[in-house]
Chain A
Amino acid sequence: MNDYEPETEPTDDLPEPDTASESAPLIEVNNLSIDFDGNCILSGITRSITRGQTVAVIGESGCGKTVFMKTLVALLTPTTGTVLFDGTDLNQLTPAQLAQVRRRFGFVFQNAALFDSMNIFDNVAFPIRQNEPSTEEDEVRERVRNHLIEVGLPEDVARKYPAEISGGMQKRVGLARALVLKPELIVYDEPTTGLDPIMSDVINELILNTRRLYPVTSVVVTHDMHTARKVADRVMMFYPRRMLDQGQSQILFDGPPSQLENADDRRVRQFVRGEAGDRIREMSRATA
């Protein structure tokens, strides 16, 4: 028996939360498994995300949450299973079709992933120039300016290069770049990691503001419980596959953030409170 056997049935069998049951799923993940060189990272994940939801994906390092997120936007190909975006299986598309679908995604990377060789203006303008080549340069300028203002950046920052601005500003530029095509799905990878508490909350407010301004579905991968509680209306907690016995669900919790503290599974409560518990012993067992 696993040392941390959940006190409830695997959460894969839990019904979907009711937060947005009135709309159809934007994303459906069916029996998703991913292996890297024989190491199973994700196994048997089945979930759907409805339009307009903001889902926080939490879990300790190495649990597969970033892999899950990259699979949602087809940056990684599942070993088995399918990922449907608005009913379309992303892995059945040709590269050209996939590029079309990706116009509906926005991705905010952990370290912003701004192009070093371009200034801030060109970074934010890139998705417009790439996907809407017929757009007049005046309109490009206007849209870039508006989005920079929307994330609280002064106009003069547009002429600077990514290396010349702070980490918090880079993340905000990354958010402006992700929003510039008005995507239906925005994926945030660790949006507050490495930022001071004030800047972290600025980013949280921007995520909330984005949701208020646009009819967007969001997936936020984070370690930061403050972010998860503040921005999400649904939280999924992943657990490393290597620390689970066969047949156990990798998603330990799936529900509203208000229920995190009272989760049945001890590992969820420990994660939320930041308690190591017997984790060192468990990690040693998994490594052995």
Chain B
Amino acid sequence: MSSDSTSIDRRPSSGAMDAGRSRLPQPLHAWIMQWGTAIVEGISSVGDIAYFAYQMFGWMFTRLPRRGTMMVNFYQVGVLSLPVVALTGTFIGMVLAVQSYYQFQAIGLESRLGVVINTSLVRELGPVLAATMLAGRVGGAMAAVLGTMRVTEQIDALTTMGADPIHYLVVPRFLACLLLIPALTVMADFMGIVGGYFYSVIVLGIDRAAYLHHSREGVVGFDLFSGIFKSFFFGGIIAVVSCYRGFNCQPGAEGVGKAATAAFVYSFVLILAIDLFLNIVLDSIYFMIYPEGTMLF
């Protein structure tokens, strides 16, 4: 055996070194190590994703991708998502009508159902549910496509040909989500309002004129604005998280699957967290503009 090998053999194992340094009981030591590692990895991931977003914004303010590259992504995010968003919006409107009708009927206020349906839709459910649907459809697909490109060395191929993968792959996807998810949210809102009207007036037989009259009075421009405003953030979050997950995909089919799942889960959690934060901010602004609040009745 060489002297090198001997010196290696004499070194204490890492476990022994850990035990030597720590006087804590083994389970507590392991627990602290586990949590410590998780916290360090979490902070490192936040740093990574922030740097990833920084690089992307850097490209957005220097040179945008070619029109052809952008249009493909706009088509995939916007046009191909239209049917599913429209369908989801319609069902949300009808479900709201079903859920609210009997409570409102019990107090004789069923003609005001439109206020509840439309306000809920444009302020909250339209943006959040459209974003959730798109986090699954668009975000999952983005992570899977970019993850597959990573695994099959297509991203390396882009780099070797002088193209910056963030400029070529991420910027168009980010812009597509940022600009088109608000547009899809408007579509979800509209279809939800139509769905709610259809179920309330046609199926439940609520008076059409009263329903429309109260609906018009209950929803103000700020409601619509706040929903669309939030959807810009949701779109940006979906794109950044999904592209980041795809770019940092682990090898193999399992890696791609995990990237797609993580893209959806992280996007969804962040959408809800940002929704809470923005609602607090927007409500403060709302009550500054309308001190009397919303008049339901």
Beta-carbon contacts under 8 Å, A100-114 to B: 100, 102-103, 105-107, 109-111, 113-114
Beta-carbon contacts under 8 Å, A220-256 to B: 245-247
In this assembly, does A271 line the interface, its C-beta being within 8 Å of a C-beta of chain B? Answer: no
In this assembly, does B44 line the interface, its C-beta being within 8 Å of a C-beta of chain A? Answer: no
Contact between chains at B161 and A127 (CB < 8 Å): yes
| Shortest distance between the CB of B71 and any CB in chain A (Å) | 13
Known A245-B5, A247-B4: A107·B160 in contact at CB below 8 Å: yes
Interface string of A66-105 (1 = CB under 8 A from B): 0000100101000000000000000000010001101101
Interface string of B210-237 (1 = CB under 8 A from A): 0000000000000000000000000000
In this assembly, does B22 line the interface, its C-beta being within 8 Å of a C-beta of chain A? Answer: no
Beta-carbon contacts under 8 Å, B228-259 to A: none
In this assembly, does B164 line the interface, its C-beta being within 8 Å of a C-beta of chain A? Answer: yes
| Shortest distance between the CB of B15 and any CB in chain A (Å) | 15
In this assembly, does A8 line the interface, its C-beta being within 8 Å of a C-beta of chain B? Answer: no
In this assembly, does A1 line the interface, its C-beta being within 8 Å of a C-beta of chain B? Answer: yes
Beta-carbon contacts under 8 Å, A121-167 to B: 126-127, 130-131
In this assembly, does B284 line the interface, its C-beta being within 8 Å of a C-beta of chain A? Answer: no
In this assembly, does A116 line the interface, its C-beta being within 8 Å of a C-beta of chain B? Answer: yes
Chain B residue nearest to A110 in the complex (CB): B153
A107 to B157, CA, bound (A): 7
A219 to B72, CA, bound (A): 36
Q: Could you say which of B2, B149, B162 contacts A103, with CB atoms under 8 Å apart?
A: B162
Known A113-B153, A113-B156: A246·B162 in contact at CB below 8 Å: no
Contacts of A73 in B (CB 8 A): 160
Contact between chains at A1 and B2 (CB < 8 Å): yes
Interface string of B145-164 (1 = CB under 8 A from A): 00011001110110111111
Contact between chains at A95 and B154 (CB < 8 Å): no
Contacts of A100 in B (CB 8 A): 162
Contact between chains at B2 and A2 (CB < 8 Å): yes
Give the interface size class of chain B.
Answer: 10 to 19
In this assembly, does A115 line the interface, its C-beta being within 8 Å of a C-beta of chain B? Answer: yes
Contacts of A131 in B (CB 8 A): 161-162
Beta-carbon contacts under 8 Å, A6-60 to B: none
A100 to B163, CA, bound (A): 10
Q: Could you say which of B4, B72, B159, B161 contacts A245, with CB atoms under 8 Å apart?
A: B4
Contact between chains at A99 and B164 (CB < 8 Å): yes
| Shortest distance between the CB of B201 and any CB in chain A (Å) | 46
A182 to B238, CA, bound (A): 40
10 closest A-B pairs (Cβ-Cβ)? A113-B157, A107-B160, A113-B153, A99-B162, A127-B161, A246-B4, A102-B162, A109-B153, A245-B4, A1-B2
Can you list 5 A-B pairs, Cβ within 8 angstroms, ordered by A?
A: A75-B159, A95-B164, A100-B162, A115-B149, A245-B5
